[in-house]
């Protein structure tokens, strides 16, 4: 038997300790008021007892399907302290996608937003009749989870018997076969992530954090560090610039986490120049590359409050970071970097034979350490490929500069090969996005009889600009001057908006399919 002498505190321990430590401090903004840590502690106990009354206990596979609402956070504290294995479901995904994840992850209980997903819960239980249904509110397909919890008296919270290598979450990510892959993440991953965040992330001392991204992805990554910091959550049901600016001003928000398209939306809004952002101390951003030009403009307007993070589902969020002071307007090239690797993870650039590339050369970003997933659920071949050579292969291509800053050139799968020349779309996007007329841009490869693939830019213009042949020529010349003629887009399409994934990333796969649909493949 293993001795408990060196057991380490895990996410459930951190939650229990935090909810007890801060007691009367504000914790979660609920229905026009802020619930205290003591209130959330008591509610967590009631929700645990409600789960157990329906047979949900340690090891139960539990999925959550909800729009942003504060109950997602209290269900999360309860589910973790109860020892459940958690799987978030994308609120925007289809029935087929939800049904696939429910079956593949072997989900036993679905917690759902009764105001928005009762019909979907009913459709899922028709396919999986043994599924336990717990709704946030009254519904006609399962239990009212909140009313059920009201029946129980709060009791002291007791951490579950879980260890570092026990499964904590199964999070789904897109696969090259079209089927999402279930990423197996143990308690070790979330413990390591929390430690790194507490050591490196620049949280304000007085932490009031606006949650504008989907809680299905943000909740697990932010829960422990915010609670350990004694911070308070302010949850937006959905992101919109007016609502965001109002929330920041009314509650003197000091931090938030956004994806780049959210900043672009704020910059393009009429209130951008007049909104009161004086309370904001840290804006964490990541998930997809940020336009250096738009980032520089935001720093000039709002000050040095931006903090970038980089990771992926298989090694989440904290592989590298670019701290606030490293967003140096005197070094505009550095704004294209994702920062330096954290000291608790190994990060290397490797070639196709798993050998380190020469200094200054580009290679695949690979990592090893406590953040790395166990593997993909029931996909041994994909797991072996992703973890070959005892490294996690991210699929991102990067290079280090002389100061150790990492620059992500692009995804290996996004590279355009035109006439035998490799073009990394990210580099072209950065040039085009610097133009004052451009709000957003996506660069892809499209079929071309002569070149195999041709570089195409798909552009969203700012509201005060219109497409024209002259503008197209201007943007093409901009790229020629900066990167050479071979990287300049052969064509530019102008669109009203770019499609986004459920977590707010530009959906390059969707855009690319419009141009490759008739060819039966996505490369040439």
**Model confidence over 214-262: pLDDT tens digits?**
888 788 899 999 999 999 999 999 899 999 999 999 999 999 999 888 9
CA distance 18 to 10: 12
Q: What confidence score (pLDDT) does residue 521 get?
A: 33
Residue 518 pLDDT > 90: no
Contact 409, 394 (CB under 8 A): no
Q: What confidence score (pLDDT) does residue 517 get?
A: 66
Residue with tokens 């530009």: 506
Residue 175 pLDDT > 60: no
Four-way CATH pick for 33-185: 3.30.70.1290, 1.10.10.10, 3.40.190.10, 3.40.50.980:
3.40.50.980
Average model confidence (pLDDT) across the chain: 91
Domain parsing of the chain, residue ranges: 33-185, 239-412, 415-516
Strand, helix or coil for residue 134: strand
33-185 with 415-516: one CATH topology?
Answer: no
Contact 55, 30 (CB under 8 A): no
CATH architecture for segment(s) 415-516: 2-Layer Sandwich (3.30)
pLDDT in tens, 389-441: 999 999 988 999 999 999 988 666 677 877 656 677 888 888 999 999 999 99
CA distance 297 to 289: 16
Contact 221, 268 (CB under 8 A): no
Average pLDDT over residues 316-333: 95
- Characterize the bridge pairing of strands 340-341 and 315-322: antiparallel
Residue 1 pLDDT > 60: no
Mean pLDDT lowest among 39-48, 205-214, 289-298, 476-485: 476-485
Residue 372 pLDDT > 50: yes
Four-way CATH pick for 239-412: 3.90.79.10, 3.40.50.300, 3.60.20.40, 3.40.50.12780:
3.40.50.12780
**Among 524, 404, 515, CA closest to 457:** 515
Tell if the pTM clears 0.75, that is, is over it. Answer: yes
Query: What distances in angstroms separate CA 311 from CA 150, 267, 286, 423, one per listed residue?
Result: 39, 25, 8, 23
- Characterize the bridge pairing of strands 33-36 and 167-173: unpaired
Average pLDDT over residues 23-44: 93
pLDDT in tens, 40-62: 999 999 999 999 999 999 999 99
CA distance 133 to 109: 6
Let me know if 480 is exposed, middle or buried by CB neighbors in 10 A (0-12, 13-18, 19+): middle
CA distance 372 to 183: 10
Average pLDDT over residues 265-281: 95
CA distance 270 to 280: 19
Query: Which of the 8 DSSP states describes residue 394?
Result: E
């Amino acid at each position: 038997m293993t001795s408990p002498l060196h057991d380490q505190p895990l996410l459930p321990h951190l939650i229990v300790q935090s909810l007890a430590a801060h007691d009367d401090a504000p914790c979660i903004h609920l229905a026009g008021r802020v619930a205290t840590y003591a209130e959330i502690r008591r509610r967590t106990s009631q929700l645990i007892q409600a789960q157990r009354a329906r047979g949900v206990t340690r090891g139960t596979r539990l999925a959550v399907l909800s729009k942003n609402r504060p109950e997602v956070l209290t269900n999360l504290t309860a589910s973790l302290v109860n020892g459940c294995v958690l799987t978030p479901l994308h609120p925007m995904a289809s029935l087929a996608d939800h049904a696939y994840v429910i079956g593949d992850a072997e989900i036993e209980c679905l917690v759902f937003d009764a105001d928005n997903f009762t019909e979907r819960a009913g459709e899922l239980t028709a396919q999986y009749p043994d599924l336990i249904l717990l709704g946030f509110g009254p519904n006609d397909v399962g239990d009212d989870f909140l009313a059920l919890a009201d029946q129980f008296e709060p009791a002291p919270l007791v951490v579950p018997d879980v260890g570092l290598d026990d499964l904590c979450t199964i999070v789904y990510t897109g696969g090259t076969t079209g089927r999402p892959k279930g990423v197996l993440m143990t308690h070790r991953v979330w413990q390591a992530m929390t430690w790194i965040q507490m050591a490196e992330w620049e949280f304000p001392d007085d932490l009031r954090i606006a949650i504008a991204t989907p809680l299905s992805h943000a909740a697990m990554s932010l829960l422990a560090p915010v609670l350990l910091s004694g911070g308070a959550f302010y949850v937006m049901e959905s992101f919109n610039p007016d609502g965001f600016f109002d929330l920041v001003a009314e509650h003197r928000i000091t931090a938030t986490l956004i994806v780049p398209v959210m900043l672009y939306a704020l910059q393009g809004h009429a209130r951008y120049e007049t909104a009161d952002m004086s309370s904001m101390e840290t804006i964490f951003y990541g998930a997809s590359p940020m336009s250096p030009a738009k980032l520089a403009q935001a720093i000039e307007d709002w000050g040095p409050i931006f903090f970038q993070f980089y990771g992926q589902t298989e090694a989440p969020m904290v592989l590298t970071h670019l701290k606030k002071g490293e967003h140096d307007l005197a070094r505009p090239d550095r704004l294209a970097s994702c920062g330096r690797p954290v000291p608790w993870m190994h990060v290397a650039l490797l070639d196709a034979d798993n050998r380190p590339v020469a200094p200054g050369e580009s290679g695949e970003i690979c990592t090893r350490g406590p953040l790395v997933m166990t593997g993909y659920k029931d996909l041994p071949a994909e797991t072996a490929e992703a973890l070959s050579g005892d490294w996690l292969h991210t699929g991102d291509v990067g290079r280090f500069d002389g100061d150790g800053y990492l620059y992500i050139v692009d995804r290996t799968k996004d590279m355009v090969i035109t006439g035998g020349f490799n073009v990394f779309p990210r580099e072209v996007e950065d040039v085009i996005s610097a133009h004052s007329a451009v709000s957003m841009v996506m660069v892809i490869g499209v079929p071309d009889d002569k070149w195999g693939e041709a570089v195409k830019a798909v552009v969203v213009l700012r509201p005060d600009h219109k497409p024209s042949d002259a503008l197209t020529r201007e943007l093409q010349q901009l790229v020629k001057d900066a990167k050479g003629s071979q990287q300049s887009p052969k064509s530019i399409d102008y669109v009203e908006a770019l499609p986004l994934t459920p977590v707010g990333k530009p959906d390059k796969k969707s855009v690319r399919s419009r141009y490759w649909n008739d060819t039966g493949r996505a490369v040439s």
